[in-house]
Copies of this chain bind each other. A is one copy, B any other.
Amino acid sequence: MPYYIAVYDVNVRRVAKMLKLFRRYLTWVQRSVFEGELTEAQFQRLQHEAGRLMNPDEDVVIFYELRDVRYSRRLVLGTEQGHRDRFL
């Protein structure tokens, strides 16, 4: 399963709903940053639901799909807030 990093920047009126949606699929890392593994079907559904929630003219969601985590590394400076299981 690919590993995803998702970041969004949405109108303040939609933040709560987007947070709730993304938390159903991925692990909250900080602010509007989420991570986690998704199957292709889950990823399609998340994109679909996010697309229905957001205003494409004002909001943006960016997904970084890492198909092989052996080619990536995660480095943290400071103190993480979000809980996540060590995968990447």
Give residues in A with beta carbon < 8 Å to B: 5, 7, 9, 29-33, 47, 50-51, 54-68, 71-81, 88
A9 cross-chain contacts in B, Cβ below 8 A = 30-31, 81
Q: How many copies does the complex hold?
A: 2
Bound Cα distance A74, B76 (Å) = 21
Q: Is the CB of A56 within 8 A of B79?
A: yes
Could you tell me the distance between the alpha carbons of A27 and B46 in the complex, rounded to whole angstroms?
Answer: 27
Contacts of A57 in B (CB 8 A): 78-79
Residue contact B63 to A74, C-beta cutoff 8 Å:
yes
Residues of B within 8 A of A29 (CB): 7, 62
A67 to B57, CA, bound (A): 33
B residues near A78, Cβ cutoff 8 Å: 54-61
Q: How many whole Å from A59's CB to the nearest CB in chain B?
A: 5
Chain B contacts for A79, CB-based, 8 A: 56-60
